[in-house]
Chains A and B, each alone.
Chain A
């Protein structure tokens, strides 16, 4: 008797809960349509927990800053005011999770654009973004395989990493010498970089020692790998992974007496590295130009706003700055296309929208064209050499083609 009434009670409460959910759902649907202007969801799937969380957070800050600024300025599509809204999902760096997150954002939240900051994830998303679902993927990765895939709904934001190898090699050779040691990280991206540097270095007539790549995420003490790399008596060392462990490796190399030059992979940012080690340990290095060294029209204000949002101590990186630019480009393309829900038209309108983007959103090498495959190209790409006086000198980079 008792059990019967309990099960009935449970069924009743289940029905009540369902009813409540249904009510809220209709209420939400009604609210969205009748408000002042439409709300458009910008989707974001990235690592927000686990080992890549810091990276994912940096990207997210850029997206949030852009959306706040754009909403404050007002976005108007086809005569109607539009409010942008960011919806973020955690994919813990797993491509399969990223793809299902992207699908969810596109189907449930009707996001016309999904941002993803990881090559593997983007490749997975490219399987579903034009076909099963329909959305533009705003791709934050410098792996050219993304645009080689010929996906019609891809916008690749950063420069192709292969562009750096030649200039990095020449600069490092000039300031160090002919013998290179390889001490990059063992991630897939790190290995692509290692290969690219290896090719450029031998082409420039240098010698290369054994491959001493280590997994920056799992090594407890960098002294061992560094001692080994130094035993080859190199004049230059290729390093790179996330900024902070890279800084530790360079510090250890200087401690063990290395005097030559460093080639620093683009994942590591010299100014961010200076927060964990002395600048002295980083001198004589070629790497990507810190955001704060850019002289674009919007850079100064961007740096101020970033400090307000993330705190004075945090260093703004290109993950934040380039994604900030990326969302501004997408918003402008929506305006130019006159639609917020047709990704094809938005993608098509990017090229015509680029010159119209407000100067305040130009912060980190603003692109002036988008290739047919969807790669945003900044005409004046620059890297940097951190010299003996601790000053960043600019190194112009000639961009290579994205073709294989």
Chain B
């Protein structure tokens, strides 16, 4: 039972990270209709910039994540302007190739600046909590709580604010939204910026329990694609449910079946969803 509680919390923490990373990706898909393969690289860049402000500059942990998130927002906007916007009328393969190119560019950039070595980011949040006999580190509790708060704020932003509503409007009908005066180009920039910002928060949270390296985004990239396909491309609730479901499935199968199956479970789920319900759990996008 202790093991189960322990793994449940480990799964929830992992789910929080998956969710924050997946939501950005699904938003970008909803608005720009492209699978942003550079998403993992933005996550990696976010982690490094957080590391830079925390360790090299010496600002407090939360502030470092905040500054890095804002910087990545700008990088996201730049990515949209310089890479995806000029390609908006080209076939879809061009976006994918451009995104892969951007991914390699960011990786090479990180390696040039910070080197290829793994780096460790220390967090001021230390200590363990005992919950029903299980030892849970405080950092994991922080991850779970922050993920919930950020997701709630995001939902509020999209449902209540004008700018957020424009994102949803464009997702639903690009032409219709333009007709009522929404500028799709602005919304595209906002969405990519937002997705990079969310990925940075995820990276900043998870970095202290893992390591930084220029390729740290690769594994996450695969997982978040599995999550948004599971949840339904472009669907916010899909990304949230998918993120937590996949993380818990992963930790539980690794615990009760074997680690090898735990690693593979994301892709088993992916294949199953594509075979049985190709539109994902929460069908929304992919109408056109």
Contacts and interface: CB of A to CB of B under 8 A. Distances in A.
Interface of A: 48-51, 53-54, 56-57, 186, 210-215, 217-225, 227-228, 231, 242-245, 248, 255-257, 275-277, 314
B137 interface: yes
Contacts of A225: 254, 259
B18 to A, nearest CB: 8
B219 A212 contact: no
Nearest to B108: A49
B209 interface: yes
B116 A227 contact: no
A220 B220 contact: yes
A49 B107 contact: yes
Q: Looking at chain B's contact residues, is the secondary structure mostly helix, strand, loop, or mixed?
A: helix
Given A53-B111, A223-B10, A255-B135, A276 B258 contact: no
Contacts, number: 111
- Interface size bracket, B side: 35 or more
Interface string B116-145: 111010000000100000010100100000
Contact of B118 (A186, A231, A242, A256): A242
22 contacts: A48-B116, A54-B115, A54-B116, A54-B213, A57-B115, A212-B259, A214-B254, A214-B262, A214-B263, A219-B219, A220-B14, A220-B17, A220-B220, A221-B14, A223-B6, A224-B11, A224-B251, A227-B10, A227-B255, A257-B135, A276-B120, A276-B211
Given A49-B108, A256-B135, A223 B258 contact: no
B20 interface: no
A248 B210 contact: yes
Contacts of A257: 135
Contacts of A51: 213, 215, 218
A50 B215 contact: yes
B128 to A, nearest CB: 7
A244 B211 contact: yes
Given A54-B115, A224-B250, A228-B3, 16 more contacts: A49-B116, A50-B107, A51-B218, A54-B117, A186-B260, A214-B262, A217-B215, A220-B17, A221-B13, A221-B209, A227-B6, A228-B255, A244-B118, A256-B135, A276-B118, A276-B120
Contacts of B242: none
